[in-house]
């Protein structure tokens, strides 16, 4: 059996999964049928990863940190990254692998990629662009210097592998601007079976405006707090409507908002989101920075849930504004789009049907993954 080295800075946790984790799980399931896999990754002590034991032959874990002190955690985190890159370079030099697969750009930034093995980088997004958008109005020159360094490292990494996998045409075209001869294919995201096999029905919907996301991520936390502060007060809707926020690790600020405003409901992490989607009237993705494939938007559209998001939320998906979903790039327009959906049942039904069909017709992860790996010639 061919040997594969799989490198990723993180792997899904049994206890609580993030948006892109289904990609990695499906990837491991597929690759384990054809390859003997060695894995290098980074963990925190609480990670529960029993699901992977039957799929991976050799697992090399680097602990991120053990200390509870924030400063010591940062030091230990830096040390873990150094160990991570050292181990990757050490394993690669032994020339034991027919294929090396890197998940996320972080896993390859300081790796000397060999020419004697076929190498793949699954980028997931354009990392430096996310940082550039986040700090575009910053007066601190350090933010912009770090962004430029990250851009250099990321584009260098993209140009160093045999094949790059991008999540969208937008990301692919962006990388090709700087590496026009690079081989780049699209590998989108797997659709969740429970969302494909069921669909939203307005008759089951309640007076719920829904947001779903890992609240430990800054763009989710900041996005929903800004929504509450700047969009929620503008909504011209029935006061019986509630804002339901689904996701683990809410910040102290979100807990304060929920305690103060009884129309804001924090559920915590929910493993099966089908019931949550079924009861929602409108799904929102108020992401004011970001990019790539936003899994929460993909999931909502798959289920046929009428969706309002920003352009960043739709950037990697490419749905049509006004046909498949509604876009609002400022608080006033975002509020208008939500109110429009709630007051117009026919518009909601139309977006539901069109958005769902768009996703089902354009996203086929299993087919893309099979085509990509079957086209690789490994001697």
Say what the pLDDT of residue 39 is.
92
Residue listed under structure tokens 């190498």:
119
Residue 324 contacts residue 335 (beta carbons within 8 Å): no
Residue 242: closest CA among 284, 301, 287: 284
Residues 137 and 37 in one domain: yes
DSSP string, 122-190: E-SS-HHHHHHHHTTT---HHHHHHHHHHHHHHHHHHTTSSEEEESSHHHHHHHHHH-TTS-EEE---P
Domain-embedded: residue 63: yes
One domain, residues 238 and 123: no
Residue with tokens 């719920």: 208
Whether residue 123 is found in the same domain as residue 242: no
Residue 292's pLDDT is 66
The low-confidence residues of the chain, meaning pLDDT below 50, are: 15
Query: Same domain for 175 and 211?
Result: no
User: Are 179 and 253 in a shared domain?
Assistant: no
Residue 70 lies in a domain: yes
Show the domain range for 358: 193-362
Residue 243: strand, helix, or coil: strand
Quickly count: other Cβ atoms within 10 Å of residue 361's Cβ.
8
Residues 170 and 50 in one domain: yes
Angle at 94 between CA 183 and CA 103, to 5 degrees: 40
The answer as to whether 209 is a domain residue is yes
68 is a domain residue: yes
We report the CATH number of the domain holding residue 53 as: 3.40.50.2000
pLDDT in tens, 231-242: 999 997 888 999
Which pLDDT does position 14 carry in this prediction?
A: 56
Strand partners, 251: none
Q: Are 117 and 240 found together in one domain?
A: no
Residues 111 and 12 in one domain: yes
Q: Is residue 160 part of a domain?
A: yes
Are both 41 and 79 inside the same structural domain?
yes
Phi, psi angles (nearest 5°) of residue 6: -105, 120
Do residues 115 and 28 both lie within one domain? Answer: yes
Identify the pLDDT of residue 222. 93
Query: Does residue 378 sit in helix, strand or coil?
Result: coil
Alpha carbons within 13 A on the beta-carbon side of 179: 19
For residue 17, the model assigns a pLDDT of 56
Looking at the structure, do residues 170 and 147 belong to the same domain, yes or no?
Answer: yes
**Which residue is it, tokens 């007051």?**
343
In a domain, 379, yes or no: no
**Tally of domains within the chain:** 2
Q: Helices 169-178 and 141-158, interaxial angle, to 10°?
A: 90
Q: Judge if 12 and 138 occupy the same domain.
A: yes
Q: Is position 220 within any domain?
A: yes
Could you tell me whether strands 163-166 and 184-186 are parallel, antiparallel, or unpaired per DSSP bridges? parallel
pLDDT of residue 46: 58
């Amino acid at each position: 059996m061919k040997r594969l080295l799989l490198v990723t800075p993180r792997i899904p946790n049994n206890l609580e999964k993030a948006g892109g984790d289904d990609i990695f799980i499906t990837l491991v399931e597929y690759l384990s049928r054809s390859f003997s896999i060695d894995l290098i990754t980074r963990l925190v002590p609480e990670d529960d990863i029993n699901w992977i034991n039957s799929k991976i032959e050799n697992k090399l874990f680097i602990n991120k940190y053990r200390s509870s002190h924030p400063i010591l955690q940062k030091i230990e985190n830096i040390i873990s990254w150094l160990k991570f890159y050292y181990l990757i370079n050490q394993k690669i030099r032994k020339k034991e692998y027919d294929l090396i697969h890197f998940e996320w750009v972080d896993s390859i930034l300081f790796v000397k990629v060999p020419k004697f093995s076929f190498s793949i980088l699954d980028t997931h997004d354009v990392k430096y662009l996310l940082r550039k958008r986040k700090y575009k109005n910053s007066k601190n020159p350090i933010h912009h210097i770090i962004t430029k360094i990250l851009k250099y490292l990321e584009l260098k990494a993209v140009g160093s592998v045999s094949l790059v996998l991008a999540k969208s045409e937008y990301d692919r075209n962006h990388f090709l601007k700087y590496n026009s001869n690079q081989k780049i294919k699209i590998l989108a995201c797997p659709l969740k079976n429970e969302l494909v096999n069921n669909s939203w029905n307005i008759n089951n919907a309640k007076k719920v405006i829904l947001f779903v996301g890992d609240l430990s991520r800054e763009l989710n936390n900041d996005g929903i707090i800004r929504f509450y502060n700047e969009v929620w007060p503008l909504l011209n809707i029935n006061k019986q409507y509630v804002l339901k926020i689904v996701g683990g690790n809410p910040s102290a600020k979100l807990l304060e908002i929920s305690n103060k405003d009884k129309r804001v409901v924090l559920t915590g992490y929910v493993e099966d989101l089908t019931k949550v989607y079924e009861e929602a009237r409108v799904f929102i993705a108020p992401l004011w920075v970001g990019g790539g494939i936003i899994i929460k938007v993909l999931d909502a559209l798959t289920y046929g849930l009428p969706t309002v998001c920003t352009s960043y939320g739709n950037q990697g998906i490419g749905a049509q504004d006004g046909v498949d979903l509604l876009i609002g790039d400022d608080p006033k327009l975002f509020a208008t789009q939500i109110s429009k959906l709630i007051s117009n049942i026919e518009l909601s039904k139309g977006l539901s049907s069109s958005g769902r069909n768009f996703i089902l017709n354009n996203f086929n992860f299993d087919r893309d993954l099979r085509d990509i790996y079957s086209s690789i010639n490994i001697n």
